């Protein structure tokens, strides 16, 4: 079985990369029903909670950085 086939196995626990991709897709509202089903059936809730919290923290830090950058450029 190739690595590509292993990634497509719906009965296999999602990899770290798949958890990250699922978290990002869910954040943007573009999660496929196939991946969502895989996540709910075989994924660990802790992995998705940790991934979601990290994504949210990084997102907030990026927003704060961009706002500070814009304000500094505006002379504030």
**Cβ atoms of residues 22 and 35 within 8 Å:** yes
Least trusted range by pLDDT, from 3-12, 20-29, 60-69: 3-12
Q: Name the percent of the chain lying above pLDDT 90.
A: 36
* Buried/exposed code over 21-38 (b: 16+ C-beta within 10 A; e: otherwise): ebbeebeeeebeeebeeb
**Cβ atoms of residues 23 and 58 within 8 Å:** no
More confident residue, 67 or 1: 67
Q: Which two tokens stand for residue 49?
A: 């909670």
Would you place residue 10 in the very low, low, confident or very high pLDDT band (cuts 50, 70, 90)? low
Q: pTM of the full predicted structure?
A: 0.70
Measure the CA–CA gap between 10 and 5, rounded to whole angstroms. Answer: 10
Nearest to 47 by CA among 22, 11, 12, 10: 22
């Amino acid at each position: 079985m190739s690595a590509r086939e292993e990634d497509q196995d719906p009965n296999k626990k999602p990899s770290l990369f798949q958890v990250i991709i699922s978290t990002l897709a869910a954040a943007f509202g573009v999660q496929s029903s196939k991946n969502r089903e895989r996540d709910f059936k075989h994924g660990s809730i802790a992995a998705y909670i940790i991934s979601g919290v990290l994504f949210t923290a990084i997102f907030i830090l990026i927003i704060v950085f961009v706002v500070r950058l814009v304000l500094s450029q505006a002379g504030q």
